[in-house]
Amino acid sequence: MSKSPTKLKAEILRLTREFSAAAHTANRPGSDPQHAPFVPGQTTVPYAGRVFSEDEVAAAVSATLDFWLTLGPEGDAFENELAALLGVKKSILVNSGSSANLVAIAALTSPKLGERQLHPGDEVITSAAGFPTTVAPILQQGCVPVFIDNDPSTLNGRADQLEAAFVPGKTKAVMMAHTLGNPFDLAATLEFCRKHDLWLIEDNCDALGCRYDGQFTGTFGDLSTQSFYPPHHLTMGEGGAINVVRDMKLKMLAESFRDWGRDCWCDSGKDDTCHKRFGWQLGDLPAGYDHKYIYSHLGYNLKPLDPQAAIGRQQLKKLTAFIHARMDNWNYLRAALAGLEGFIQFQLPTHAIAWSPQGFAWDNSGHQTECSWFGFTMLVKKSAPFTRGEFVKCLAAAKIGSRMLFGGNLVRQPAFVSLRRQQPNAFRVTSDLAGADRIMNEAVFIGTYPGLTRAMLDYMADTIIKFVSSK
């Protein structure tokens, strides 16, 4: 007699776990030294990577066997769990952090927002140094990014430049990233947005689990975004989310832009949630036209697959441990590299003015940040007897992964240089962007991700200390 699907599935999942336990040891923190010994100088120390166990692999296989495929039960559960964890009204899954940024800004262009709708030519303030797809969606929606500078000490956009960037009647929103797990000055930014009635989109893609005055980043603005690409705080391969912080009207708009621009809000596979599927008359369509095929926006289709959400749900269970590991790894590296301040400027959390082995000293703003660090960033000082180029080559030779702060000063990227040449008013710059240039020229970051072991951290610190001492 053939086995039942339930029995077969259980057997497949048992074997899947067995397989993953044998095949994926290198993807577990403190991985079994018998299977994956760390050999300094030979084993690569990545700047980031996927950390997972049999749980994620079994969840992916289980959801694939169920074969719902399109965003469905796992997606719903993930969205609810993420929203509950952050304490926001709704989280909406998409297929990447870049898509999340695109949907977030697109949602604000909806005519349903009345006077607060973003129109082509409206200005959106952002910061110059960072990842390109924090900014590209602003342009893709016909709006004008206005760049403020970044502070090389925190890497974040300088809130003290917001007022100078503001133009009455033109400026409609602020959209900035919490850079590499360091919250930007939310108190000053929120005050500015409230004063001028501006939207705030927090790009929280690199900062899941960070806190500002004890509250999670991504929960202060109107909308915020996440990326679930492998180097990020949790992964589902590709993936991202838009968090709707308070206003459920924005949920309808963001979902519409994610899902083809449709007016209907039925979940996939469901009909007639509004109980008047054939009772609408919208646009110039005939009365009773099927609501499923009524489009109130020029939308996209940016949904991920259900098995991705199944992986993400397992990762969510580990998020608290991941966040603490990132903090511990950063603190460990910072303590190990104390004494190199003459050559290297170490990143500080926003509102911190100094680091000591006892902790941070804070400015007198009354605000504090808790960083779930995406990486450990160092700026090679101009006075150092070595260049950033020599430093990164030393790291590469030692097989220590490093990255620059993504696109550096974005306005110096070929895409922005040619855009300005073709359309001089496509974006605006409000200062000399000297901080963004310094970050572009001097910054490098190494890993803090939960897959790093103590042996790796010691090796990273020793390599840097030896390199600096040799100069």
Ligand X SMILES: Cc1ncc(COP(=O)(O)O)c(C=O)c1O
Catalytic residues: 232
Residue 134 or 372 with smaller CB distance to ligand X: 134
CB of 204 to ligand X, least distance (A): 8
Give the nearest distance from C-beta 124 to ligand X in angstroms: 15
Query: By C-beta, is 101 or 345 nearer to ligand X?
Result: 101
Residue nearest to ligand X (CB): 97
User: Least distance from C-beta 460 to ligand X, angstroms?
Assistant: 21
> Least distance to ligand X from the beta carbon of 312, Å?
12
249 C-beta neighbours (distance < 10 Å), count: 13
Nearer to ligand X, 312 or 467 (CB): 312
| 220 vs 467 by CB, closer to ligand X | 220
The residue (of 227 and 243) whose beta carbon lies closer to ligand X is 227
Q: How big is the chain, counted in residues?
A: 471
Compute the distance between CA of residue 326 and CA of residue 332 in angstroms, rounded to an integer.
10
Q: Considering the complex, what minimum distance in angstroms separates the CB of residue 117 from ligand X? A: 24
**Cβ pair 440, 388 in contact under 8 A:** no
Q: What is d(CA 58, CA 60) in angstroms, rounded to the nearest whole number?
A: 5
Q: 465 burial class (0-12, 13-18, 19+ CB within 10 angstroms)?
A: middle
User: Is the Cβ of residue 143 or residue 461 nearer to ligand X in the bound state?
Assistant: 143
Shortest distance in whole angstroms from residue 133 CB to ligand X: 5
Nearer to ligand X, 229 or 362 (CB): 229
- The residue ranges that bind ligand X (CB under 6 A) are 96-98, 101, 130-131, 133-134, 177, 203, 205-206, 227, 229, 240, 406
Q: Compute the least distance from the CB of residue 14 to ligand X, in Å.
A: 33
CA pair distance 425, 412, nearest whole angstrom: 16
